[in-house]
Amino acid sequence: MVLKKSLILLMLSLSSTSVYLHATNVNHLNNLSLEEALQLMKRDNLELKISKFNEQMKAQEAKVAQGYNYGKLDLKVQAIRSNDAGNIFGFKLKSREAAFGDFGFSEFDMSGQSNPLPVQPKDLNYPDARNHFQTTLTYAVPLYTGGKLDQYGKITKALEKMSKLDSSKLLNEKVFQTTKTFYDISLVNQYIDNLGNIISNIEQLSNIVSSMKEEGFAKEIDQLEVEAKKAEVESMLSQATYNKELAYQYLSFLLNQKVDSIQAINSLAIMPTIVKEKIQEDNLDIQKAKLGLKITDMAIKVEESNFLPTLGAFGEYGSSDNNPFNEFTHKDFYTVGLQLDWNLFNGNIDKHNLEKSKVENMKVREQVELAKKGICLQVRKLVTEVKSKDAEITNLETQFNFASKVYENYQEQYREGITSISDVIIKQSKELEVLLKLLTVKNDRNAKVFELTSIINKGEI
């Protein structure tokens, strides 16, 4: 039961992240080194490519925020036809063509014999339809916004930097996954080799049992027990081969290319150098927390700007006529001006928003301290766990060598008729149990080393 449980834990650990199927790729990579794999991953990994697109979008958003400082220039061209009396008179004024006749003066009785005022002039009320073409160029620019536009620009630049930190964090994660998969495959290969040796030993034991059976010193049940043990180990070998295939599929997914084989590496990862000051300077989570604090500082200034006036300037130039672009400069016009906006009271909404941003700033400040202390605690914990795993590996390697010797000794004792085949199989099971435990601890130890390397943002593992 313990043996099966150890096998399940090891295989789950080795294949926990190997649930993705890689995309079909014509190129097959063989004898791939870890360094080559990391370079391919950085170039071709799909998640990293998506993250780079996010960076580019944040960079464009920063440029958009900067663009608001330069104002807005609009060109409007209108082509209108109307017989509406108000429009016709307005069109003529715009075109600088209005005349007294447009008021219907030709219909007034100027003889003095009657009052001309009651007359409803037809020229004014029922004018002929008219075309109107107007071209207008308008420019509006903010002169003072209380610092709001400046802070928005800084915030978007900070968010662009945040997206780069997110990409770096994702890269760290992919380096972690790629490296761990390499070590997983090497560990599985080591496990497969050991199982192959164990199967050879069982076959040797089977030959011994067959020889002794012919001489009458062994029973049929002894042969069956050995065959059952061999079938169990072959099943474990089949499972290990399947998990190796899954690991290759996951590696192919990470690299976005089909990987058939890799170069073997040491089954134990190298422990990184730990420097507390460098961790607090380089750790990406701490960098993001510090940048988040700067963004909340800027957000406070944005809220403070709501208490200040905004000043803008605008200018307009154009020309109108009943024919397009006719006598443009003769009938042109311009308008320039300034506009001041200053909210004096809005139910203290701005005040409460300012207080909220200050509270958010204090919260993020505490989160920065929490991130620093939390990361340091996590590093100390991982270092301790790695040291513990190192000691456990040394102990298990000693146990494995001892179990192998004990099995060989019991096999010889069985040949001499001193012990039973059941005792030999028990010792064989003990050897397998220690092997599985050893490889599981090595896998756990590597995972903690890779996690530690990722935390301190060392770069490549």
Chain segment 75-92, per-residue pLDDT in tens: 999 999 998 888 888 888
According to CATH, what is the number of the domain 2-69+147-309+349-455?
1.20.1600.10
**Predicted local confidence at residue 24, as pLDDT:** 41
Of how many residues is the chain composed? 461
Q: Is the pLDDT of residue 411 over 80?
A: yes
Question: Among 208-212, 308-312, 397-401, whose mean pLDDT is lowest?
Answer: 208-212
**Predicted local confidence at residue 103, as pLDDT:** 64
Beta-bridge mates of residue 92: none
**Predicted local confidence at residue 124, as pLDDT:** 72
- Both structure tokens of 451: 């996690």
Query: In percent, how much of the chain has pLDDT > 90?
Result: 64
- Whether 251 and 181 have beta carbons less than 8 Å apart is answered as yes
**Predicted local confidence at residue 105, as pLDDT:** 58
**Predicted local confidence at residue 8, as pLDDT:** 47
**Predicted local confidence at residue 116, as pLDDT:** 57
Quick one: how far is CA 272 from the chain centroid?
25
What CA–CA distance (Å, rounded) separates 418 from 217? 11
Cβ within 8 Å of residue 51, ≥6 positions away: 163, 166, 167, 170
**What pLDDT digit, counting tens, does each position of 274-324 carry?**
888 888 888 999 999 999 999 999 999 999 999 999 999 999 999 999 888
What CA–CA distance (Å, rounded) separates 45 from 26? 16
| Top-confidence residue, 358 or 92 | 358
Residue 17 pLDDT grade (very low, low, confident, very high; cuts 50, 70, 90): very low
Core vs surface per residue 418-438: b (16+ CB within 10 A) or e: ebbbeebbebbbbbbbbbbbb
| Alpha helices (H) in 339-348, listed in sequence order | none
Segment 214-241 mean pLDDT = 89
Q: How many helices (H) and strands (E) does the chain have?
A: 11, 6
Segment 250-273 mean pLDDT = 91
Residue 22 pLDDT grade (very low, low, confident, very high; cuts 50, 70, 90): very low
| Of residues 34, 454, 449, the one with CA closest to residue 265 | 34
What CA–CA distance (Å, rounded) separates 326 from 389? 89
Q: How far is CA 226 from CA 82, 198, 246, in A?
A: 105, 12, 31
> What residue has token string 């915030």?
155
Segment 159-184 mean pLDDT = 94
**Predicted local confidence at residue 125, as pLDDT:** 74
Question: Among 114-118, 147-151, 160-164, whose mean pLDDT is lowest?
Answer: 114-118
